[in-house]
């Protein structure tokens, strides 16, 4: 059946982080359905050339760059090509394009804590929020979900595992509702590029090796997180909040082929799974059209040529970041905020060749072992803690390098 038979009313969309891996895949799906989606705003950190091309193709009302110097360069590029998009800059403008009254949906695809305020602005404005930016939910946990409920926002998971779980839940279940009749969530993960490596080889892996994911093509930060299994740890915390389940009811299962994107086990013993080729356009198209369906551009999964589907338990000794995240999920909320901030600093230092891959786990362990644990009750408290942890994690790295 073609999707021409399905009518989705035209949605006005802001894509936060449009030049990244998720942003580009989002615009690929949107570009296939010009009758169903119009772009209100596109935003980027500093990727001027990519954003210029996206503005020429999608003609958004606004483009937002992180700083004014980049915005100036983008304005010059767009004026030469006669593109009418107005170029803005700074975090306040990111917040404005996320909460603007005429916008229906916001794709939250900025990487890291930088996405928290604009994503939360979209939530507070009661938008349909397509959440790729898992760090925003991990660092703010229950405060984020409270804002979703209080403002009647519609939160749709883009992370392939959480989108799979969402698709396996009863159709009237919304993110933040406690799903009925569930025994546990089975969160699958490929195991990353170092799944079969020894601890010694993992410890001295290079950034290129860490970013060489076997099944998915992604931005650098999530690629490194996938190599350390911190990504699965962040997803564990993400699942805890999105689906209102206790950490003891979430099981991480390593599934190297990345064909089953996660599963839900019900109390009668039934297990429902969502399968598909590993291509983020599937969850993106699902969330864009939800509760209907549209073409994502992804080819069919050929079940006949699939060799096998394998499953194994994660190795928490070779991948200590996953263990740290799983215990943070059961601790007072400051634990996840601290872990996320320290991890962002560690990953950046690793990508800049300042520390080794093995140092990521050592740094996280050191920060978590001294972290004060308490319940954060405001977003300002979350942001203060995030700032302070970054400062001390950077100081730890500096002291290690100068030692
Ligand atoms: P990416 O690095 O490819 O893109 C990040 C985007 O955010 C870019 O547009 C960049 O310009 C923008 N950005 C970065 N720092 C910024 C800042 N300080 N202020 C404003 N904008 C900033 O990352 P990605 O792989 O697309 O991932 C984006 C988010 O989606 C992450 O939270 C990631 O965990 C999540 N996610 C990604 C995938 C994937 O397949 N790539 C899958 C699941 C979830
Ligand atoms: Mg994922």
Locate 348 and state its tokens.
């950046």
Q: Among 14, 16, 18, 21, which is best to mutate for testing ligand 1, by the most ligand atoms less than 8 A from CB?
A: 21
Q: Is the dihedral of CA 174, 231, 379, 249 positive or negative?
A: positive
Q: How far is the centre of ligand 1, averaged over its atoms, from the C-alpha of 122 (Å)?
A: 17
d(CA 353, CA 372): 29
d(CA 104, CA 392): 40
With H, G, I as helix, E, B as strand and everything else as coil, classify residue 72.
helix
Locate 245 and state its tokens.
């389940």
The arithmetic mean of pLDDT across residues 370-389, rounded, is 97
CB 215 within 8 A of CB 257: yes
Question: Whose CA is closest to 240, among 328, 124, 133?
Answer: 328
Q: How far is the centre of ligand 1, averaged over its atoms, from the C-alpha of 109 (Å)?
A: 5
Q: How far is the centre of ligand 1, averaged over its atoms, from the C-alpha of 40 (Å)?
A: 19
The arithmetic mean of pLDDT across residues 56-80, rounded, is 97
Ligand 2 ion local residues (Cβ < 5 A): 159-161
Q: Whose CA is nearest to atom 12 of ligand 1?
A: 17
Q: For residue 18, name the pLDDT band (cuts at 50, 70, 90).
A: very high
CB 260 within 8 A of CB 275: yes
The per-residue pLDDT for 148 is: 98
Which tens digits make up the pLDDT trace of 109-167?
999 999 999 999 999 999 999 999 999 999 999 999 999 999 999 999 999 999 999 99
The per-residue pLDDT for 216 is: 81
Q: Going by C-beta distance under 8 Å and a sequence separation of 6 or more, which residues neighbour residue 29?
A: 281, 284, 285, 288, 294, 296, 297
With H, G, I as helix, E, B as strand and everything else as coil, classify residue 228.
helix
Cα diameter, the chain = 66
Strands (DSSP E) contained in 267-323 are 271-275
Query: What residues does ligand 1 touch, defined as CB less than 6 Å away?
Result: 17-23, 44-45, 47, 66, 109-111, 114, 132-135, 159, 216, 218-219, 221-222, 280
Q: Whose CA is nearest to atom 18 of ligand 1?
A: 114
Length of the chain: 403
The arithmetic mean of pLDDT across residues 181-187, rounded, is 96
CB 252 within 8 A of CB 184: no
d(CA 88, CA 66): 9
Helix axes 334-351, 320-330, angle to 10 degrees: 160
What is the torsion angle, in degrees rounded to the nearest 10, for the CA atoms of residue 151, residue 156, residue 162 and residue 165?
100
Q: For residue 2, name the pLDDT band (cuts at 50, 70, 90).
A: very low
Residue 330 has pLDDT above 90, yes or no: yes
The per-residue pLDDT for 328 is: 98
The per-residue pLDDT for 136 is: 98
Q: For residue 4, name the pLDDT band (cuts at 50, 70, 90).
A: very low
- Does this model's pTM top 0.85? yes
Which tens digits make up the pLDDT trace of 308-326?
999 999 999 999 999 999 9
Residue 177 has pLDDT above 80, yes or no: no
What is the torsion angle, in degrees rounded to the nearest 10, for the CA atoms of residue 119, residue 157, residue 335 and residue 367?
-80
Q: For residue 403, name the pLDDT band (cuts at 50, 70, 90).
A: low
Task: Give percent of the chain with pLDDT exceeding 90.
Answer: 92
With H, G, I as helix, E, B as strand and everything else as coil, classify residue 346.
helix
d(CA 233, CA 231): 5
The per-residue pLDDT for 1 is: 45
Tokens 């909040």 belong to residue: 241
62-65 vs 37-44, strand pairing mode: parallel
Nearest atom within ligand 1 for CA of residue 221: 2
CB 212 within 8 A of CB 226: no
The arithmetic mean of pLDDT across residues 29-46, rounded, is 97
Residue 257 has pLDDT above 80, yes or no: yes
Residue 7 has pLDDT above 60, yes or no: no
d(CA 283, CA 167): 10
Q: Is the dihedral of CA 122, 238, 264, 212 positive or negative?
A: positive
Residue 76 has pLDDT above 70, yes or no: yes
Question: Which ligand is located closest to the Cα atom of residue 160?
Answer: 2
Residue 52 has pLDDT above 80, yes or no: yes
DSSP 139-206: HHHHHHHHHHHHTT-EEEE-SHHHHHHHHHS-TT--TTSPPTTEEEEEEEE---TTTTS-HHHHHT--
d(CA 99, CA 237): 26
d(CA 83, CA 68): 19
Tokens 């803690």 belong to residue: 385
Average pLDDT, the chain: 95
CB 236 within 8 A of CB 321: no
The per-residue pLDDT for 180 is: 84
The per-residue pLDDT for 387 is: 98
d(CA 194, CA 202): 7
With H, G, I as helix, E, B as strand and everything else as coil, classify residue 94.
helix
The per-residue pLDDT for 385 is: 98
The per-residue pLDDT for 179 is: 78
Q: Whose CA is nearest to atom 42 of ligand 1?
A: 159
Which tens digits make up the pLDDT trace of 79-106?
999 999 999 999 999 999 999 999 999 9
């Amino acid at each position: 059946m073609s999707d021409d038979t399905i009518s989705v009313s035209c949605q006005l969309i802001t894509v936060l982080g449009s030049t990244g891996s998720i942003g580009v895949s989002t615009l690929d799906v949107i570009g296939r359905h010009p009758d169903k989606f119009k772009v209100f705003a596109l935003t980027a950190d500093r990727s001027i050339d990519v954003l210029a091309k996206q503005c020429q193709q999608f003609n958004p009302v606004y483009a937002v760059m992180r700083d004014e110097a980049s915005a100036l360069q983008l304005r010059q590029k767009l004026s030469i090509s006669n593109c009418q998009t107005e170029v803005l800059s700074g975090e306040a403008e990111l917040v404005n394009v996320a909460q603007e009254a005429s916008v229906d949906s916001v794709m939250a695809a900025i990487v890291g804590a930088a996405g928290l305020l604009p994503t939360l602005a979209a939530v507070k404005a009661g938008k349909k929020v397509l959440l790729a930016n898992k760090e925003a939910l991990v660092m703010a946990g229950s405060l984020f979900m409270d804002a979703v409920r209080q403002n009647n926002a519609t939160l749709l998971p883009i992370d392939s595992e959480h989108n799979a779980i969402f698709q396996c839940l009863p159709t009237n279940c919304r993110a933040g509702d406690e799903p009925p009749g569930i025994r546990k969530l089975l969160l699958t993960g490929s195991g990353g590029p170092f799944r079969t490596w020894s601890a010694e080889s993992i410890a001295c892996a290079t950034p290129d090796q860490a970013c060489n994911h076997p099944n998915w093509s992604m931005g650098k930060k999530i690629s490194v997180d996938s190599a350390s299994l911190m990504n699965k740890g962040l997803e564990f915390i993400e699942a805890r909040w999105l689906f209102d389940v206790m950490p003891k009811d979430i099981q991480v299962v390593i599934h190297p082929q990345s064909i089953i994107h996660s599963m839900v086990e019900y109390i009668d013993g039934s297990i429902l799974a969502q399968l598909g080729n590993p291509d983020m356009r599937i969850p993106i198209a699902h969330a864009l059209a939800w509760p209907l369906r549209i073409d994502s551009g992804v080819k069919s999964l050929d079940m006949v040529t699939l060799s096998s589907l394998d499953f194994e338990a994660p190795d928490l000794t070779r991948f200590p970041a996953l263990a740290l995240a799983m215990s943070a999920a059961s601790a007072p909320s400051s634990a996840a905020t601290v872990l996320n901030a320290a991890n962002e600093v560690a990953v950046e230092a690793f990508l800049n060749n300042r520390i080794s891959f093995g140092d990521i786990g050592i740094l996280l362990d050191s920060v978590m072992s001294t972290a004060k644990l308490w319940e954060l009750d405001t977003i300002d408290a979350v942001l203060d803690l995030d700032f302070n942890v970054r400062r001390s994690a950077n100081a730890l790295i500096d002291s290690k390098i100068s030692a």
